Amino acid sequence: MPLPSQPTRGFDYGRMLADFTPDDVYQHPFELTVDASIVGPYMASFIDATPMWTSDRFARAAQLPGRPVPPHLLLNLGLSFSVHDVSQQAIAHLAYVSVKFPKPLLLGGTVRGASRVISAKAASSGDRGIVHVQTVLTDERGERVLDFERKALIRAGRLGARPELPTAQLGSAEATAWLGQAPQRAFVDVLAQSGLGPDAFAPPLWGYWEDLAPGTRILHTAGRTVGASEHMQLSAICRNTHPLHWDAIYCRDNSFMKERVVYGGLVLAWTLTQSSLDLGGHVLWESQWSDGAHPNPVLAGDTLYAATQVLERREVNAQMGLVTLRVVGVKNEKPAELLAQGRDLFTPERDKKGDERIAEKVVELTREVLVRRRG
């Protein structure tokens, strides 16, 4: 006997430009316990010398019960969670406007995410526009562990096959619950006041606060070639559902490179961790990031290099100080070679014209970090 006729459905996710309304808030579908089964495989792809993310003993000396989840993993989770509602139809990620890590998420903590629309503006071409969103991750207590703003380039029109899913308006009870609460004090202030205990390991590495004089440039020598299956596995660990990173058939028609593009959050994380042997051994916390972008794409087989310029520093107390850094990642050519060619490596690409732009630059970011002093 034939089965009753049923409608055939196919769903699309993300949104197109006309689907975004300022002050709308979306609750993202994933709730994730970030335990060793996630952090271990993720960190296996990053040689990170920052002891706060790698050593329980060090974290306890900083008044924590154990090591926190690395901030670059938190950002990758926040970006990836938001793809489902914000950027699965995006042409490109344009900018990290600001990124803050208000409190640690300890290993084994549980996060969920939400985003609110700040603005959606059509381009003069009419076929696309720029969407500005704020995304937060909250822990099991409803407090924010990540709070960031970004901009994405989105195709014009409406998405016809998106299922009806909950949307709240900023100020409503649902939106307030989804977006969580800011902790009473940012962790950078808590750590500065509480200090480090006597068991705080001091790695035999360069990069104390005193070493980082404004104007100093560090050309990190480590290279990192991106593997084809590696970047896809890490995108899966982070729960990134954008087909631009997964689906070769989709990319034939929809990728400007006509093949799978490496997820930009991973490019940023590799760049930061490649700098960590020179700069991470005495970093205590990531205060905030800003003015970030991915000027050019990365494909499997590209080799990444990093460079850093110290912009400014200020004392906090006898144990630690804040340092502002401009970090860039480039592909397939070492930073020293680009500088020898007279290229302006550290100026944002958006401020350049024509031949001034660097085709090899794949990420840039201003980073404020709390750094240990020699004491």
- Give the domain CATH number at 101: 3.10.129.10
Residue 11 lies in a domain: no
Helices 71-82 and 36-43, axial angle in degrees (round to 10): 110
Q: Which pLDDT belongs to residue 3?
A: 64
How far lies 363's CA from each of 156, 158, 240, 271, 360, in Å?
26, 30, 19, 8, 9
Beta bridge partners of 120: 131
Q: What is the pLDDT of residue 9?
A: 74
DSSP code at position 143: B
- Classified as helix, coil or strand, 167 is strand
Q: How many domains does the chain have?
A: 1
Question: What is the rounded distance in angstroms from the CA atom of residue 325 to the CA atom of residue 370?
Answer: 11
- Give, in degrees to the nearest 5, the angle at Cα 338 between 333 and 344: 135
Give dist(CA 164, CA 269) in Å, integer.
34
pTM attached to this predicted model: 0.95
In a domain, 190, yes or no: yes
Q: Which domain holds residue 153?
A: 17-372
Evaluate whether residue 99 is within a structural domain. yes
Q: What is the DSSP string of 68-126?
A: BPPHHHHHHHHHHHHIIIIITTEEEEEEEEEEE--S--BTT-EEEEEEEEEEEEE-TTS
Are 57 and 201 a contacting pair, CB within 8 Å? yes
Domain membership of residue 189 (yes or no) is yes
Whether 71 contacts 106, CB under 8 Å: no
Round to whole Å and give the CA distance between 331 and 305.
Answer: 6
Is 96 part of a structural domain of the chain?
yes
Would 7 be classed as within a structural domain? no
Residue 170 lies in a domain: yes
156: tokens are 């014009």
**φ, ψ (nearest 5 deg) of residue 308:** -135, 140
Q: Is position 111 within any domain?
A: yes
Which residue do the tokens 């750094």 mark?
A: 371
What pLDDT shows up at residue 1?
A: 59
Consecutive 10-residue runs of the chain (375 residues): their mean pLDDT?
70 92 96 96 95 95 95 97 93 94 97 98 94 98 98 93 90 97 94 91 95 97 94 94 89 86 96 96 97 96 98 96 98 97 96 96 98 91
